[in-house]
Amino acid sequence: MSPRDKLKRVLEGRFEILDLFSDSSPGNISDRFSSVIGIDRESISDDEVKELFEHFISEGSILRALTLLKILSLNDREGNDLAPLLASLLEREALSDIRPATVDLLATKLLGTNRPSVAWNNLMKTSLIFQAASAGEVDKPQSDWLVCHDETPIQPDAPHGMLLYLRIVNSLPDSSSPVWNRKNTRTKVPMPVYFSLVGHPDSNLKFQKYEAALVDLSPMGMGLQLVDLYGCLKPAELKDRRIRLEIVLPSRKDNVHTFATIMWCKEEEVRGRKMIRFGAKFQEAIPEQVAVIQQLIKQRKRDQQLLWSLWDTKTTNL
Amino acid sequence: MEPLGHKNDQSLSVELPRQTISIGGGKGGVGKSLVAISLAYWLGRLKKRVILMDGDFGGANLHTMLGNRMPEVTLEDFLLRRVENLEEVLQETFMPNVSLLAGGMDIPSLANPNFSRKTRILRAIDKLDTDFLLVDLGAGTNLTALDFFLASPRKIVVLRPQPTSVQNAYGFIKAALYRKISRILWPTPLRGLLDGSGDHPDESIPRSVEEIFEEVSSEIPESLPAITQAVESFHVDIILNMVRDPREKRIAEVIHEVCRQHLQIGSTTLGSIPFDMSCERWATRMNQGTFAQNAQDGALKSAYQIAYNLITQPEARDAAA
């Protein structure tokens, strides 16, 4: 079997090769493939790398494409040969619409930047090892697990009746944070948002309009915080509560109104004041509203646009 | 485009004495020179020895504002070695305890002093015996202005409550910070990152300090502490000048917020100075006799509190010195 075929079989989840690994095998994935299986950058041609890479990309298997680069990176630490492939991937991803393909966590993290050099460095830092796991864990991947399993059921020749897993070791910052599980990158957007509780049994609270500070924002949801001066809001009661949101846009006549559900809520003490923080997921956001929110996010990434937005806010009543 | 970094820049990282205060702002006509003169006036009245330096090498006219249309000796004489010591350039002014280092305009090529000349001035300034040195920088974001601004422990940015002034003030602060970071990046593979030169195409220029940190931590993590220190030690004081309505003071918050979010640097409002027609009249006639007459009200009176703060809060915000 040629190195190219071996590599393809491993990345496709054919497990017979895994039996070649032992506990004494090197931890680094590229070292493993080089020393145990004899696959390294020298044993596979540029055209084969490119063909395999494109093959996985065309299947939507971004993680496998990245793993391919990882395996072959042993003799190319600087990424001189392989970084262009990564750059092409990043470019394609950057151009594509936001899509729910982000179950591929490593890919999500790497594609969080449009800078090939940054992505490459992340890839180089990441130590991938194979870790066997039971089939039951497939449906409940841990936050720090990188699941790269086949859609097909357990194959008879899989060692110990297990699926193939890839696991990231000591590479992802704060991988236990719920932020890691977000499917969309959030952008810090400090601006006021008004909200009211929908269908709250207490009529006093039901019609109350609260002002919160928008902490961060994504097309799917937002993080908010507010000081509850009168102690009316109880975090435990807010969770799963439906709210009506009004996002104040300095440059627009009509603010954005939408509904959202509070997914989590907690109370903290900040500088002696009780602060309620919560994350809300948009519901029933119409495309126009999503477009406005995305535009807002895009604008906030540029300092000049933030400057003018603040200028408009500060000079409104002058 | 003039690159932000240069191989000699490491040597330019001269740290001037703690009492050196640079006054810049990016935009012309915001009142930098008048603020500098007003602060010098009050510092002098408060028994402090003050040297007022014209840091506008391309358009020196501070001497004119102080009633000396044709100074006998200027910084040009020092740069051309007609005089050996900077003390020989010092001239008395009508303000008590305030001396002037006048800039010259005879030789256009000196508008952008080269590395060695800049270094010579900075080192000579370092030796001046004074309580306060106020450097009135020129408009724009030329490297000379940025280098003097960076060399000063206390950095003041003057702006007016008008959009172009706010925009230029922020641009000036950003250029100064990027210049400071570029010096650190010069001997590294990320040289030219911030101005799109070298191996870095324009589209890869980081848009914020956060992106710079991202790039540095990825490419040259060993330089991360130096970059972090450079950013954390960078602090600017804002003076809002020509304020017509007290509500306009909140415009300074625009600068604070953008600096905090995009540059990750601290900034504070040192004070505000109201719009004062008498300043306009004074600027038209340059009659030194009328300058002090306005000390009890208007703009000059507001400058007193700022000068007082400079004395009573001597700690330099910028920890570079």
Check if A188 contacts B (Cβ < 8 Å): yes
Please tell me whether residue A125 adopts helix, strand or coil conformation.
helix
Check if A310 contacts B (Cβ < 8 Å): yes
Q: Which of A:112-141 have CB within 8 Å of B? A: 113, 115, 117-118, 121-122
pLDDT the model gives residue B154:
92
State whether B207 and A303 contact (CB < 8 Å): yes
pLDDT the model gives residue A128:
44
Q: B-chain residues within 8 Å CB-CB of A314?
A: 250-251, 253-254
The first and second tokens of residue B282, run together, are: 């004074």
Mean pLDDT is highest, among A278-287, B14-23, B67-76, for B67-76
Check if A171 contacts B (Cβ < 8 Å): no
Please tell me whether residue A278 adopts helix, strand or coil conformation.
strand
Bridging pattern class, strands B235-243 and B154-159: parallel
Q: A-chain residues within 8 Å CB-CB of B206?
A: none
More confident residue, A315 or A77: A315
Chain B residue closest to A304 (CA)? B167
What distance in Å separates the CA atoms of residue B131 and residue B137, rounded to the nearest whole number? 19
Query: How sure is the predictor about B44, in pLDDT bands with cuts at 50, 70 and 90?
Result: very high
Residue A306, min C-alpha distance to chain B (Å) = 7
State whether A303 and B262 contact (CB < 8 Å): yes
B129-186: per-residue pLDDT in tens?
Answer: 899 999 999 888 788 888 889 989 899 999 999 888 998 999 999 999 999 998 888 8
Residues in chain A: 318
Q: Which long-range contacts (CB under 8 A, 24 or more apart) does A297-302 make?
A: A297/A187, A297/A189, A297/A217, A297/A218, A297/A219, A300/A187, A300/A188, A300/A189, A301/A187, A301/B207, A301/B208, A302/B207
What amino acid occupies position A21?
F
Query: How sure is the predictor about B11, in pLDDT bands with cuts at 50, 70 and 90?
Result: very low
Query: How sure is the predictor about B287, in pLDDT bands with cuts at 50, 70 and 90?
Result: low
How much is the ipTM here?
0.81
Bridging pattern class, strands A256-270 and A242-247: antiparallel
What amino acid occupies position A135?
A
Mean pLDDT is highest, among A179-188, A264-273, B297-306, for B297-306
pLDDT the model gives residue B173:
95
Check if A307 contacts B (Cβ < 8 Å): yes
pLDDT the model gives residue A22:
47
Q: Quick check: A11 and A56 in contact, CB under 8 A?
A: yes
State whether A188 and B261 contact (CB < 8 Å): yes
What distance in Å separates the CA atoms of residue B106 and residue B263, rounded to the nearest whole number? 38
More confident residue, B165 or B12: B165
Mean per-residue pLDDT over chain A, rounded: 64
Residue B203 reports pLDDT greater than 60 = no
Which of B13, B9, B6, B8 lies closest to B321 in space, CA to CA? Answer: B13
What distance in Å separates the CA atoms of residue B62 and residue B108, rounded to the nearest whole number? 17
Dihedral-angle region of residue A87 (phi above 0 means left; psi in -120 to 50 means alpha; beta otherwise) = alpha
The first and second tokens of residue B60, run together, are: 């020196």
- Max Cα separation, chain B? 60
**Torsions phi, psi for A152 (to 5 deg):** -70, 155
More confident residue, A303 or A299: A303
Q: Quick check: A196 and A243 in contact, CB under 8 A?
A: yes
Q: Quick check: B21 and B149 in contact, CB under 8 A?
A: no
Query: In the predicted model, what is the mean pLDDT of residues A114-131?
Result: 52
What distance in Å separates the CA atoms of residue B78 and residue B76, rounded to the nearest whole number? 5
The first and second tokens of residue B273, run together, are: 């100075």
Check if B258 contacts A (Cβ < 8 Å): yes
A77-90: per-residue pLDDT in tens?
Answer: 666 777 777 777 76
A195-249: per-residue pLDDT in tens?
Answer: 888 877 776 666 678 888 777 777 778 888 887 767 778 888 888 888 888 877 6
pLDDT the model gives residue B166:
92
Residue B231 reports pLDDT greater than 80 = yes
Mean pLDDT is highest, among A163-167, B183-187, B234-238, for B234-238
Check if B166 contacts A (Cβ < 8 Å): yes
Task: Say how far residue B184 (Cα) sits from the centre of its chain.
Answer: 21
pLDDT the model gives residue A246:
84
Q: What percent of chain A has pLDDT over 70?
A: 43
Mean pLDDT is highest, among A90-94, A227-231, A305-309, for A305-309
Say if pTM beats, i.e. exceeds, 0.95.
Answer: no
What distance in Å separates the CA atoms of residue A218 and residue A198, rounded to the nearest whole number? 22
Residue B66 reports pLDDT greater than 70 = yes
Query: How sure is the predictor about A176, in pLDDT bands with cuts at 50, 70 and 90?
Result: very low
Check if B269 contacts A (Cβ < 8 Å): no
Q: Which of B245, B248, B258 is facing A303, going by the closest CB pair?
A: B258
More confident residue, A187 or B36: B36
More confident residue, B293 or B300: B300
Q: B-chain residues within 8 Å CB-CB of A190?
A: 257, 261
How many of the other CB atoms lie within 10 Å of CB of B287?
11
State whether A307 and B170 contact (CB < 8 Å): yes
Query: In the predicted model, what is the mean pLDDT of residues B266-287?
Result: 79
Name which of A307, A309, A318 to mutate to probe chain B: the one with the most chain B Cβ atoms within 10 A of its Cβ.
A307
Question: Which residues does B203 contact at the CB level (< 8 Å), separation at least 6?
Answer: none
Query: In the predicted model, what is the mean pLDDT of residues B283-293?
Result: 65
Question: Which residues does B256 contact at the CB level (< 8 Å), separation at least 6?
Answer: B238, B267, B268, B269
Residue B218, min C-alpha distance to chain A (Å) = 6
State whether B261 and A303 contact (CB < 8 Å): yes
Residue B25 reports pLDDT greater than 90 = no
Residue B223 reports pLDDT greater than 60 = yes
pLDDT the model gives residue B51:
94
